[in-house]
A and B are shown apart, each in its own frame.
Chain A
Amino acid sequence: MDDTRRQRTAECDCFELELAAYLEGESRPFVPAHLRECRFCKVVFEDLSRLRTLARELPLEEPSRAVWSNIRAQLATQRAFAETAGVWNWFWQWDFLRRPLPVATFACMLILGCWFTAPRNYPQPEPAASLAASRGETDLVRSMAFAGGATGLEQAVRELEAAFKARERSLAPDVKATYEHSLSSLDASIRECNDSLQREPGNSLAHEYLFAAYSQKAEVLSSALEIDEGR
């Protein structure tokens, strides 16, 4: 009989069953005992040991971004991500907060709103020109405050307008027409209010409408930019 021909025995089967545990460090006395008797199983053991040693020496490779994206997409389809409650997470769902121009616009409007509502001490008016303690007083205070705060809002609107002009070509024609029509209407109202205020600087209603027109123009431009960015 050829000595090189392996004769598999029951001990060899038992050896294969216990080999993995032995290599993991578990106590398996049968394995080293069989290695002393069986040349072929000894060769198998030496090959596996060498593979383990070489595997430990291999450099760690970071998987490509596509791998993580695919894993994340798979997990998302399995709805593995629970929506965490929290004010901040709810707040951050508002997409427009991540865009600087609309955020700057709303920040300006918020500051101006605080400016309007902050209590102020004005000199007591002459009795002949006293105002009723009603909306008329409030309008006058707001109009005077607007005169001081208009510059910031105008600047914000100009920046939004420049951004809109740069991107208006990407809007659908009917959407673009709607925005242009509304902006034209608001520009006309701004011009009229300015004309009116040149003739009557203290016209509180004109002040109110001028501020409203600028605010609405900022909102319209922000809306147009959001639609464009959402495409």
Chain B
Amino acid sequence: MADRHQQITKKATAMPFGLGIILCSLALPGILVAADGNRSEKTFETTPSPRVTVSNMTGQILVRGWDKPQVHILCTVISPRVEVDSEVLPPNELADKIHFSTHLLDPLTVGKDQTADYSLDVPMGSSLEIRNPQGSVRIEKLQSDDTSVETVGGAILISDFSGHLFVRSIGGNIDVTRASGRVEAYSITGDLHFVSPETSKLRATTTSGRIFFEGDFADGGDYSLSAYSGDMDIVCPRSASFELSAKTVRGKLENEMPMTIRHQPATPLSSANSLFGTHLTGKATVSLKSFSGTIRIRQR
């Protein structure tokens, strides 16, 4: 009788414990899902060169080109009060325009809860327009006639891009690697980095950020770099052929490249430090300006 009572007692004790284990193991996947956020994934059939626009608030946006006539999106939001909408035009045919936008279901959602991360695979020839005020943008392997990216504080990283690229950030750094075609990059306080550029036309302006350019100048290329107070570093190979126009109001000019000095224009109205010269045959045109930053031209 006592043994039977002990058995019953043991069972009674074990049961809640076992139930707890079962409940926890059932809850664990739910917690993981919750921690992982709300993910959504979708694929759209498109024309070979659709226009894709993304309007986000904060989070990371990654766009990669691929060789399929499809746009594939994987989107993750932290808060259930944030929703990602998509609008496809035309609606019942191959998409020529797709617009993704993040919006708040609850206007009181603030801070990190507004985060939506996008990962997009788009056809190589897609045109992009991306606005991500508080987040970063990364674009890889795209051949686009028209791509524009704007952030406020987030960094913009572009690599292996060809076509027309317009990037602007108020305070974020801009990195452009192996880009060809036409590139325009603007920031106020962010740094601008151009590595292995293959562009034929480059416009870059920053106010207090720095500019770093490492690479060769394309024959017939036109390069215009302007930094107000930040320093400017140009590192190019010995074989670079360019015609240089460099001037600064209060900054310094440091040049390591052997140059054939051109006749400097007589400008009694300007006391800027300036250097006008030609390296080798002057096939590219390079204009460097600063107000108080130092301009350095070095040989790689």
Contacts and interface: CB of A to CB of B under 8 A. Distances in A.
Q: Does B associate with A? A: yes
B133 A189 contact: no
Contacts of A83: 89
A216 B111 contact: no
B59 interface: no
A192 B250 CA distance: 10
A94 to B, nearest CB: 11
Contacts of B205: 212
B265 interface: yes
A135 B245 contact: yes
Interface stretch (A47-55, A56-64, A99-107, A180-188): A180-188
Interface in B70-106: 89-92
B18 interface: no
B270 A174 contact: no
Interface in A173-231: 174-175, 177-179, 181-182, 185-186, 188-189, 192-193, 196, 200, 202-206, 208-209, 212-213, 216, 220, 223, 227, 231
Interface of A: 79, 82-83, 129-132, 134-136, 140, 172, 174-175, 177-179, 181-182, 185-186, 188-189, 192-193, 196, 200, 202-206, 208-209, 212-213, 216, 220, 223, 227, 231
Nearest to A134: B265
Contacts of A196: 249-250
Contacts of B210: none
A171 to B, nearest CB: 9
Contacts of B269: 140, 200, 202-204
B291 interface: yes
A223 B170 contact: yes
Contacts of B249: 196, 203, 205-206, 209
20 contacts: A79-B91, A82-B90, A129-B268, A131-B265, A172-B110, A178-B153, A179-B152, A182-B171, A185-B188, A185-B207, A200-B270, A202-B270, A204-B269, A205-B272, A205-B289, A205-B291, A208-B289, A216-B207, A220-B188, A223-B170
Which residue of B91, B171, B205, B287 has the most chain A CB atoms within 10 A of its CB atom?
A: B171
A83 to B, nearest CB: 6
Contacts of A220: 170, 188
B189 interface: yes
Given A135-B245, A174-B134, A205-B272, A185 B208 contact: yes
A200 B291 contact: no
A136 B267 contact: yes
Chain B facing A: main interface SS: loop
B19 interface: no
B229 A189 contact: yes
Interface of B: 89-92, 107, 110-111, 133-134, 150, 152-153, 170-171, 188-189, 205, 207-208, 226, 228-229, 245, 247-250, 263, 265-272, 287, 289, 291-292
Nearest to A185: B208
A228 to B, nearest CB: 11
Given A134-B265, A196-B250, A223-B152, A182 B270 contact: no
A186 B207 contact: yes
A225 to B, nearest CB: 13
A172 B134 contact: yes
Given A136-B265, A203-B272, A205-B289, 6 more contacts: A82-B90, A175-B133, A182-B189, A185-B208, A192-B291, A204-B270
A182 B171 CA distance: 7
